[in-house]
Amino acid sequence: MKFQFENSYEVKEKIQKSQIAILPIGAVEAHGPHLPLGTDNLLAERLSERVAEKTGAFVLPTLPYGQVWSLKNFPGSINISNETLISLLVDMGISLYEQGFRVFVMLNGHLGNAVALKEAARKLYAKFPDFRILYLFYPGIKKVTEEVRETKSSHATYFHACEIETSYMLYLAEEYVDMSKAITDIPNIPMSADITPTPWEEFTSSAVLGDAKLATKEKGRKIIDAAIENMVELIAGAKNQMNRRK
């Protein structure tokens, strides 16, 4: 159910029944030559739709701007500060709560947003103890990813425009991928990148962290389906918990 296509006469009752709002949140950010700037928005949006189908949740309109510090000097990136993003999510959360939602899922397609999402969630939790706020970024996929990937990850925490993320796109938004332009670019990310501010232009000129050429729809399917399953379960758990509290 796309929230913004509902009308105000019928939506109240539907909210009370569903209780769950999913906000797809991504970013506009450089993703190499083969993926569009809006890759994280497309992924977040399509994941949200699939998860909503399985949970009876509403999908809110995608928030297409995120925190893009690391890649902000790359062509096409648009960066929002953490402070702004936190304020925005808190404002939205207050409205959602007042509208009757009791589970607010921030379905995140862009790792750079993670700090703001967690902080916003904590602020909302302090305000409304009976409001469950989830921040989800491909949860519980470590094992399946390791099985699927043919190349080693460039970095322990993040991946970008690589074998993995390109596979996601091939599975979820194939029409926006141009595999003929896919490249292999495995940067040597220095240890210092984890402990001092390090814009990515210091170690990559392509913004691709790995071998995008190895991406396949099937790899994407395996990981994404696992992620969806985990998300559905986490949301169901949150909803049950809220209902028990009543």
Instruction: Out of 147, 192, 218, 240, name the contact with a second copy by CB under 8 A.
Output: 192
Helix, strand or coil for residue 238? Answer: helix
The answer to whether the CB of 215 falls within 8 A of the CB of 167 is: yes
Binding mask of the shown chain, residues 147 to 186, with x at each position contacting a second copy by CB under 8 A: -----------------------------x-x--x-----
Residue 134 or 209 with smaller CB distance to a second copy: 134
Q: 61-90: which residues touch a second copy (CB under 8 A)? A: 61-65, 68-69, 72-84, 87-88
Residue 32 to residues 22, 114, 172, 212, 235, Cα–Cα distance (Å)? 28, 22, 18, 9, 33
Q: How far is the CB of 183 from a second copy (least distance, A)?
A: 10
Q: How far is the CB of 228 from a second copy (least distance, A)?
A: 14
Helix, strand or coil for residue 169? Answer: helix
Question: Which tokens is 97 given?
Answer: 């709560």
Residue 60 within binding range of a second copy, rule CB under 8 A: yes
Instruction: Out of 43, 47, 96, 172, name the contact with a second copy by CB under 8 A.
Output: 96
Residue 200 within binding range of a second copy, rule CB under 8 A: no
End-to-end alpha carbon distance in the chain: 25
Q: How far is the CB of 24 from a second copy (least distance, A)?
A: 11
Q: Which range touches a second copy (CB under 8 A), out of 10-18, 144-152, 209-217, 218-226?
A: 10-18
Bridge pairing between strands 210-211 and 184-185 = antiparallel
Question: Which tokens is 184 given?
Answer: 């292999």
Q: Which amino acid is at 48?
A: S
Name residue 28's beta-bridge partners: 78
Residue 73 or 243 with smaller CB distance to a second copy: 73
Question: Which tokens is 150 given?
Answer: 């043919």
